[in-house]
Amino acid sequence: MVGILVAAAGTTAAILTGDSRWDGIASLLIAALLAGVAALLAQESKALLIGERADPSLSDAVIRIAARMPGVCNANSIATVQLAPNSVVVYLSLDFFDYMRAPEIEGAVINLEKQIRGTHPEVSAVFVKPQSVQFAKGSQGETLMSPDTVLREDVLTGGRRLTDLGRSAPGA
């Protein structure tokens, strides 16, 4: 739309003044505008081709959903990849309670995926890595997932321990 306005202004100025240089100036301005738009599109296309992190608010919301799921002892970390404007892949490292068996963990993961997709339809895939807190951290305390977010227990609960909030395992 801006290009049409510049072209109209250049043509009008050329007709009114009788000086055709105005038309040439308008053409150069349109070329600069097109070059700017092309650069912007190239930058966005590159980010989507390579993949970029999803919006941090999405990462925060997803890891909070995961941390509140029954059977999840700790949400260790999250990594996301934005594949398209409405397509995000989520990778979660979750610590499940030790008393849970494989079928129970599978059920928890299915419920987690349903809840995430129900509240965030842009999430196209969810991958969960069941992993205890000790194995989710390297020798220096760094996460092994290159996460968007690593939430500590006090961040999730406002300074209270999860066990104080009734999140402990049965019989613990």
Query: Of 136, 66, 143, whose CA–CA distance to 108 is shortest?
Result: 66
Q: Which residues of 99-112 are buried (b: 16+ CB within 10 A; e: fewer)?
A: ebeeeebeebbeeb
Whether the CB-CB separation of 6 and 26 falls below 8 Å is answered with yes
pLDDT for res 46: 78
Per-residue confidence of the chain (172 residues) as pLDDT tens digits? Answer: 888 999 899 999 989 998 889 989 999 999 999 999 999 998 878 776 777 888 899 999 999 999 999 989 889 899 999 888 889 999 999 999 989 899 999 999 999 999 999 999 999 999 999 988 666 665 445 544 444 544 444 444 444 444 444 444 444 4
Query: What's the CA gap between 59 and 56, in Å, rounded?
Result: 5
Q: What is the pTM of this model?
A: 0.57
Structure-block tokens of residue 80: 């996301």
The SS3 assignment for 20 reads coil
pLDDT for res 134: 66
